């Protein structure tokens, strides 16, 4: 039995070696989404400007700095928790991990709104988006159904998620690309005009710049694959893989957003299912059954995002489970079921998603689906950019204080360029964080008040929660028999050097 186990461990180590294309595929499934296309389209030609900010000036620093930190000896596991803990201390490391974990508990509501919006088109049931109670019941069925499916292991559900991504994201996006190119080639009229005058924001106040929010979300998540830098056959190809991802993501976002913006009047774009109607508008002039295409694509897109939620249910919880075993959560969350699944952590995540779902679905004012969607998206970005700010501060500390630590990959040969990456990433993360708290310009006065009240109240609760939990860290670690001194972050240069040898 032990020999078999040992052989299995050796095989696992071999299996950890990945190619650049495999890393590209893994990261693409985390980063590229379709439920943000309608939000991009709402910005019209300005989407090009925001894509430049998020896709180049922000995404590039994220991937290169996280790749460098992940390649440092001894830092390949734990991701943001390890990086921030070693540079900023244990409390900061735990907070960064918590914000990374909690952001997706909010983001899942955004995804579920999209799924339900698509199903409403597919099955011709507007009540499931217009009636908040029906919508919430469906959200709970989706959420807890996916959590239940994970309890006997993730191998089967992992395959399901891959198929869902292929059928529900890759195929619809390429179909949209084909239709949109055909639409342009035939000289059809466009609802918007793109030129050097229209791509910049109409004004530089917060209510307009909040349009940047969904673009940050579109490129967030790439740091999750950074720990795999050391698993690459050739770590030096990491920047090429991330650049290819940036190009692919920018192109798909441009195609998706422009296909909606150029075929549907801006005031008719629905955030939760606008992309579905874009298919109908594009095929209408070719004599194809509009209703059939909208129903089919709505179903496929919903299936794709279901697979994405399934992956998010498994992924972030693994890191939180490791934190629970180190005493950052009550001891009950450090236990797994007989299949090795962190059931209690998943249930905790499900409870938080449900609470946020209640707040957003019923607190947004009845059937105001777009307001709920916008608030959920903004809250997700506010939490995630908070984590990114901690990540970039950690990177800058690394560059100023620990330049001698051995790493397999560096963001740039020039130290000053590496520092520039850190500063640029922090500034744009802070910019994305600040503008989330400005209500969108197209909301009514009452809706702006509701948006701000929901966003601020939910954010404050989640901001202080990790610090409240940290006060019990020593107590929970003691109950688990964990030596707090052993898990505490090294703070001196000598300790860091010792850790990485």
Which residues touch 442 (CB under 8 Å, ≥6 apart)?
Answer: 42
Distance, in Å, from the CA atom of 392 to the CA atom of 419, rounded to the nearest integer, reads 10
Report helix angle 90-122 to 274-283, nearest 10. 40
Confidence (pLDDT) at 490: 45
Confidence (pLDDT) at 364: 57
Tell me the CA distances in angstroms from 282 to 118, 186, 196, 251, one per residue in order. Answer: 17, 12, 26, 19
Distance, in Å, from the CA atom of 412 to the CA atom of 285, rounded to the nearest integer, reads 50
Q: Which residue has the tokens 């830092």?
A: 75
Distance, in Å, from the CA atom of 32 to the CA atom of 39, rounded to the nearest integer, reads 14
Confidence (pLDDT) at 374: 76
Distance, in Å, from the CA atom of 121 to the CA atom of 292, rounded to the nearest integer, reads 10
412 neighbors 421 (Cβ within 8 angstroms): yes
229 neighbors 235 (Cβ within 8 angstroms): yes
Distance, in Å, from the CA atom of 93 to the CA atom of 99, rounded to the nearest integer, reads 10
Confidence (pLDDT) at 485: 61
**Under-50 pLDDT residues of the chain:** 1-13, 15, 366-367, 488-495, 497-501
Distance, in Å, from the CA atom of 58 to the CA atom of 51, rounded to the nearest integer, reads 10
Q: How many CB atoms neighbour CB 497 within 10 A? A: 15
Identify the three-state secondary structure at position 18.
Answer: strand
Confidence (pLDDT) at 22: 66
Straight-line distance from the first to the last Cα atom of the chain, in angstroms, rounded to the nearest whole number:
33
Confidence (pLDDT) at 81: 83
Confidence (pLDDT) at 417: 94
Confidence (pLDDT) at 499: 46
Question: Closest Cα partner for 309 from 134, 87, 470, 145?
Answer: 145
pLDDT tens-digit map of 42-68:
888 888 888 888 888 888 898 888 888
* The model's pTM: 0.79
Confidence (pLDDT) at 331: 92
pLDDT tens-digit map of 62-112:
888 888 888 888 786 667 888 898 999 889 999 998 998 888 877 788 889
Please list the helix, strand and coil fractions of the chain in percent, rounded to the nearest 5, in that order: 75, 0, 25
Helices (H) and strands (E) in the chain, counts: 23, 0
């Amino acid at each position: 039995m032990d020999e078999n186990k040992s052989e299995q461990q050796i095989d696992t180590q071999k299996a950890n070696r990945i190619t650049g294309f495999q890393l590209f595929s893994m990261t693409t499934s985390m980063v590229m989404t379709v439920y943000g296309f309608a939000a991009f389209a709402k910005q019209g030609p300005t989407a090009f400007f925001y894509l430049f900010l998020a896709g180049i000036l922000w995404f590039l620093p994220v991937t290169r700095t996280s790749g460098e930190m992940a390649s440092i000896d001894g830092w390949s596991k734990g991701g943001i928790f390890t990086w921030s803990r070693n540079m900023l201390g244990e409390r900061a490391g735990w907070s960064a991990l918590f914000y990374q974990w909690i952001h997706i508990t909010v983001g899942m509501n955004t995804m579920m709104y999209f799924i339900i919006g698509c199903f409403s088109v597919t099955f011709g049931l507007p009540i499931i988006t217009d009636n908040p109670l029906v919508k919430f019941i469906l959200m709970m069925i989706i959420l807890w159904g996916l959590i239940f499916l994970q309890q006997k292991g993730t191998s089967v559900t992992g395959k399901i998620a891959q198929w869902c991504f292929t059928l529900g994201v890759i195929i619809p996006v390429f179909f949209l690309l084909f239709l949109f190119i055909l639409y342009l080639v035939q000289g059809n009229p466009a609802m918007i005009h793109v030129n050097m005058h229209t791509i910049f924001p109409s004004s530089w106040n917060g209510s307009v710049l909040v349009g940047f929010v969904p673009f940050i979300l579109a490129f967030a998540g790439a740091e999750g694959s950074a720990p795999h830098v050391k698993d690459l056959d050739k770590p030096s190809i990491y920047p090429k893989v991330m650049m290819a991802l940036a190009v692919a993501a920018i192109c798909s976002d441009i195609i998706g957003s422009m296909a909606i913006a150029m075929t549907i009047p801006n005031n008719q774009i629905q955030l939760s299912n606008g992309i579905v109607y874009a298919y109908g508008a594009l095929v209408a002039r070719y004599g194809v059954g509009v209703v059939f295409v909208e129903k089919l694509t709505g179903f496929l897109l919903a299936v794709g995002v279901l697979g994405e939620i399934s992956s998010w249910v498994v992924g972030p919880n693994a890191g939180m489970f490791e934190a629970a075993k180190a005493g950052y959560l009550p001891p009950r969350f450090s236990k797994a079921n007989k299949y090795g699944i962190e059931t209690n952590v998943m249930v905790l995540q499900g409870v938080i998603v449900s609470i946020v779902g209640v707040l957003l679905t019923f607190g947004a004012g009845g059937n105001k689906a777009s307001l709920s969607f916008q608030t959920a998206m903004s809250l997700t970005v506010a939490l995630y950019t908070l984590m990114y700010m901690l990540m970039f501060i950690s990177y800058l500390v690394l560059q100023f204080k620990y330049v001698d630590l051995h790493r397999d990959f560096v963001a740039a040969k020039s130290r000053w360029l590496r520092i520039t990456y850190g500063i640029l990433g922090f500034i744009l993360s802070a910019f994305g964080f600040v503008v989330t708290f400005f209500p969108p310009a197209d909301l009514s006065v009452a809706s702006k008040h509701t948006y701000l009240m929901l966003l601020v109240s939910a954010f404050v609760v989640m901001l202080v929660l990790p610090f409240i939990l940290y006060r019990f860290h020593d107590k929970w670690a003691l109950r688990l028999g964990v030596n707090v001194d052993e898990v505490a972050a090294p703070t001196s240069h000598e300790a860091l050097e010792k850790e990485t040898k």
